[in-house]
Amino acid sequence: MEILNNNFTSMYEETELEAFVSEEAELEAKIINLIEHLPIDDPLDSESEKEQEEIVKIGDAIIGLDNLIKYIQQNDLEITSSLIKELYSLKKYIIYLCNESKRQAILEEFINLMV
């Protein structure tokens, strides 16, 4: 009797597994079918998305900060002086980074000339 129960259980598990696999394959086929019918002419990959972002130059960033500070001062927006100081600090930091990148470029140029 025990052998019969084991065989029945085993057959039931196999049938259940086959049904699950079949159902999963059917779902996969539906998903693939949906994807194939999507109206995407030119799909983007992760690199293409990054290329479309406009690059802000350092000069533009500094001018933007200057304009923001002027706007705040002219319109009396009740912004704390500590925030204005932080904006000036940010501007100085951007200028510092700009100068450092120029120094690095000059150093690399010099090294390339020596080689």
Rounded-to-integer distance, Cα 68 and Cα 91, Å:
11
Measured CA to CA in angstroms, residue 65 lies from 23, 57, 69, 100 at distances of 59, 13, 6, 20
Task: Supply the angle between the helices 58-74 and 81-114 in degrees, to the nearest 10.
Answer: 170
List the domain boundaries for the chain: 1-39, 55-114
pLDDT tens across the length of the chain (115 residues): 555 455 555 666 677 777 777 888 888 888 787 777 777 666 666 565 556 788 888 889 999 999 998 998 888 888 888 888 999 999 999 999 888 888 777 777 777 777 6
Q: Please give the model's pTM, rounded to 2 decimal places.
A: 0.46
